[in-house]
């Protein structure tokens, strides 16, 4: 089984799109790190679609403590942050987002930045999620769908990150069941296309925090972490 080593400092969890499972992977990684004795915390720079969407609250619930996650801004419209702020008449400044995110990442032994949607989702002032990851100078784990169509989206996302000098420790194919020929062949094809470790994560019960943490530890990290 392919696995990868977690960065020993801050890193990001980004996605090829919205709804691909960034929050589940983030929760599992933070939970596994905390159970191993690390001061790990997920930082969500902006949450849109709130309520009901609240990724930081989900991570905290999975990890069993509010110390496991924080959200810097919440916006009601379920849109990209820059668009949501414009619709809601709320001021949103990129430099404030960058500075506050950097402060929160540095405040913990291991800070985990959770992205918003895909890499080119507008944040504020014409800057995007990929700009934030690049400006923070942290590596990025890419979460993607496991079935048909993921090759293009995932390879382009990895290329975009590397073109900005961002290291990609791994790609996580989420909700992997291997039922289709595309799903079964995608991990090896993507590994060849991206020259990057590709791990598969089966569907996990999000109603059970231990299921998420144990599942990510077993399938993504392939065992205990130091």
- What tens digit of pLDDT does each residue of 41-61 get? 999 999 999 999 999 999 999
- As to burial, measured by CB atoms within 10 angstroms (0-12 exposed, 13-18 middle, 19+ buried), residue 111 is buried
What is the percent of the chain where pLDDT is above 90?
93
**Active-site position among 14, 16, 28, 44:** 44
The overall average pLDDT reported for the chain is 96
Range of the domain at 128: 11-219
pLDDT of residue 1: 45
In a domain, 129, yes or no: yes
Section 173-196 average pLDDT: 97
Residue 5: the pLDDT is 81
Q: Is the per-residue pLDDT at 2 higher than 80?
A: no
Is 225 a domain residue?
Answer: no
Residue 167 has pLDDT above 60, yes or no: yes
Distance set, CA 216 to CA 6, 101, 145, 164, 199 (Å): 12, 25, 15, 28, 10
Whether 12 is a known active-site residue: answer no
Q: What is the pLDDT of residues 96-153, one digit of tens each?
A: 999 999 999 999 999 999 999 999 999 999 999 999 999 999 999 999 999 999 999 9
Q: Are 129 and 161 in contact (CB under 8 A)?
A: no
As beta bridge partners, residue 204 has: none
In this prediction, residue 3 carries a pLDDT of 67
CATH of the domain at 202: 3.40.50.300
d(CA 106, CA 125): 24
Residue 5 located in a structural domain: no
Residue 226: inside a domain = no
Asked if 168 contacts 140 with a C-beta cutoff of 8 angstroms, the reply is yes
pLDDT at 181 > cutoff 90: yes
pLDDT band at 91 (very low <50, low <70, confident <90, very high): very high
What token pair was written down for 84?
């949501």
Decide if 1 is inside a domain.
no
Number of domains in the chain: 1
Residue 225 has pLDDT above 60, yes or no: yes
What's residue 207's pLDDT? 92
Angle at 101 between CA 97 and CA 103, to 5 degrees: 125
Residue 62 lies in a domain: yes
Percent share of the chain, pLDDT over 70: 99
Binding residues: 19-24, 48, 55, 114-117, 174-175, 202-204
pLDDT at 115: 98
Query: What confidence score (pLDDT) does residue 59 get?
Result: 98
Residue 64 located in a structural domain: yes
pLDDT tier, 8 (very low <50, low <70, confident <90, very high otherwise): confident
In a domain, residue 203? The reply is yes
């Amino acid at each position: 089984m392919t696995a990868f080593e977690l960065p020993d400092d801050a890193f990001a969890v980004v996605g090829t799109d919205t709804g691909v499972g960034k929050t589940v992977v983030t929760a599992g990684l933070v939970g596994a790190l905390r159970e191993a004795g690390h001061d790990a915390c997920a930082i969500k720079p902006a949450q849109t679609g709130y309520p009901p969407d609240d990724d930081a609250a989900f991570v905290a619930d999975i990890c069993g403590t509010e110390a496991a996650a924080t959200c810097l801004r919440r916006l009601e419209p379920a849109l990209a942050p820059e668009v949501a702020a414009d619709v809601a008449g709320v001021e949103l400044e990129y430099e404030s987002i960058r500075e506050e995110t950097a402060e929160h990442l540095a405040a913990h032994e291991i800070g985990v930045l959770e992205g918003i949607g895909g890499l080119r989702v507008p944040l504020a002032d014409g800057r995007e999620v990929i700009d934030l990851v690049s400006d923070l100078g942290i590596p990025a784990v890419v979460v993607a769908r496991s079935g048909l169509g993921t090759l293009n989206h995932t390879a382009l996302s990895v290329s975009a990150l590397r073109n900005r000098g961002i290291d990609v420790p791994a790609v996580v194919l989420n909700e992997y069941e291997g039922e289709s020929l595309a799903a079964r062949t995608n991990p090896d094809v993507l590994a060849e296309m991206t020259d990057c470790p590709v791990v598969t994560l089966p569907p996990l019960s999000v109603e059970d925090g231990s299921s998420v943490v144990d599942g990510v530890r077993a399938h993504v990290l392939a065992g205990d972490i130091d």
